[in-house]
Amino acid sequence: MTHFGQLIYSVLFLFIATACSGKKTILLTGGAGFIGSHTCLELLRTGEYKVVVIDNLINSSEESLRRVAELTGGEPIDFHKVDLLDYKALVQVLLKYQSSSSSQSEIFGVIHFAGLKAVGESWEKPLNYYDNNITGTLNLLRAMKECGNISRIVFSSSATVYGDTTQIPVPETCKLAPVSPYASTKAFIEQIIQDVVKQSPTKMQSVILRYFNPVGADISGRIGEDPRGIPNNLMPFVAQVAVGKLPFLSIFGKDYPTADGTCIRDYIHVTDLALGHVAALKRLERDSDLTESPRVLIVNLGTGSGTSVREMRDTFASINNITVPYKFVERRAGDAARVIAQVDKAKKELNWEAKLGLDRMCQDLWRWQSNNPSGFNKAGSNKKQSAANLKPIISHTLRVAASGILSKTLITGNLSGELNRGNLWKKWRKGAGRITAASESNGFKAL
């Protein structure tokens, strides 16, 4: 056995006996999507939560959840293919988690990701966006009240609510000026949640997260962004050009008032963003009151640093030693020259800040795209992990553990999930029969 293998086994033996009980149940709407699946993964990695996912799979895949379960060593995920517009089906799901002995729900809180999200498409189909995003949220809030008084909700909002602001960096107090129908739905939903929380007799609480430009993928390369059709966002577009699915990258405009003439955005690694959602849940868990009345906290999630479109393309090409051809095309309507988050509030209120830089964003994105050139439709990667490939995963696990978010239980679960796909795990499980059964089942349960 190598020294590296001995280290892995020692870590597993050290923490295997600390499996926690009394986990809190979290409902994720849209939990099979890009940000939802990464948040699902990070929630399970803490070892403190059970996860229930609702998703209509219009823009996502069940395969993402199967891989999340695989990555966490068989942590259970209850998945329900349900559209939030189907109120009856939504209620039927939530009633499954309502206590038979009381009126309270087993669900501790909700993270609401579900919604249509393409800015350009929202101009073409505004009625679809208003109906899906707003009506879906209204149904969710009603069902939360009727099915056990679920009182905590974290909402996935967007920096697009700020519009083409001149305040740089953008504070949470910036006047909202949404430009697209998509952005307008986010702003409306924010107000709806604030009004509902204010009038709630059950002391509802909410954290509204306005995040900037999510990129990257989980360090394992097993889950990532899998857009349908031509990508709407920069980095999936870059990655698909790099893998040969698209001939070149279109850069919209080269005459903006920036150093290289291209737009500047605040790019944030999706893993950091997912951990921001975990931090928001812990904020609701920790405090009975929030600093903003009435019981709603609005927080930007970004890095506080800006990077131009051309800089992102160049960094991706350089760090991965790959060619990404590009062409300049006309500006897109509504694109602001520069948008960067003010992040002080996230540090103060959530004890959270982004840790992963541009190099990691680009490396992790390419690992995902090169191993899965067709996304979740075809598994393009070898599932077996060598000791060398496990090193960045272990590094990530220990980094998050040091931040206080990851529990001992999930250090075990995360590493065992990785080892389960390689020879090291075969040796390990000979002496650890107690966890073999849980690990051999992928934990994914579609209901």
Asked, for residue 404, whether it belongs to a domain, the answer is yes
Q: Which pLDDT does position 229 carry in this prediction?
A: 80
Asked, for residue 377, whether it belongs to a domain, the answer is no
The three-point CA angle 306-308-311 to 5° equals 115
Q: Which pLDDT does position 13 carry in this prediction?
A: 34
Q: Which pLDDT does position 300 carry in this prediction?
A: 99
Give the Cα separation of 304 and 212 in Å (integer). Answer: 10
Asked, for residue 425, whether it belongs to a domain, the answer is yes
Q: Which pLDDT does position 333 carry in this prediction?
A: 77
Q: Which pLDDT does position 299 carry in this prediction?
A: 98
pTM of the model: 0.83
User: Integer distance in angstroms from the first to the last C-alpha of the chain?
Assistant: 42
- Sign (positive/negative) of CA torsion 338, 134, 203, 87? negative
Q: Which pLDDT does position 377 carry in this prediction?
A: 83
* Domain count within the chain: 1
Sites in the chain below the pLDDT cut of 50: 1, 6-7, 9-20, 379-390, 406-414, 416-441
Asked, for residue 38, whether it belongs to a domain, the answer is yes
Distances (CA, A) of 422 to 95, 150, 330, 383: 40, 41, 48, 8
CATH number of the domain encompassing residue 181: 3.40.50.720
Asked, for residue 234, whether it belongs to a domain, the answer is no
The three-point CA angle 54-84-212 to 5° equals 75
- Which residues are marked as active site? 182
HSE-up of residue 29 (Cα within 13 Å, Cβ side)? 28
Full residue range of the structural domain in which residue 172 is found: 19-216+269-302+342-349+382-446
**Each residue of 315-331: b (16+ CB within 10 Å) or e?**
bbbebbebebebeeeee
Q: Which pLDDT does position 381 carry in this prediction?
A: 44
Asked, for residue 310, whether it belongs to a domain, the answer is no
DSSP 27-56: EEETTTSHHHHHHHHHHHHHTSEEEEEEE-
Q: Is residue 60 classed as helix, strand or coil in its secondary structure?
A: coil
Q: Is the Cβ–Cβ distance between 272 and 402 less than 8 Å?
A: no
Asked, for residue 204, whether it belongs to a domain, the answer is yes
Q: Is the Cβ–Cβ distance between 134 and 128 less than 8 Å?
A: no
Give the Cα separation of 156 and 138 in Å (integer). Answer: 15
Asked, for residue 174, whether it belongs to a domain, the answer is yes
356 Cβ contact partners less than 8 Å away, ≥ 6 residues apart: 216, 269, 271, 272
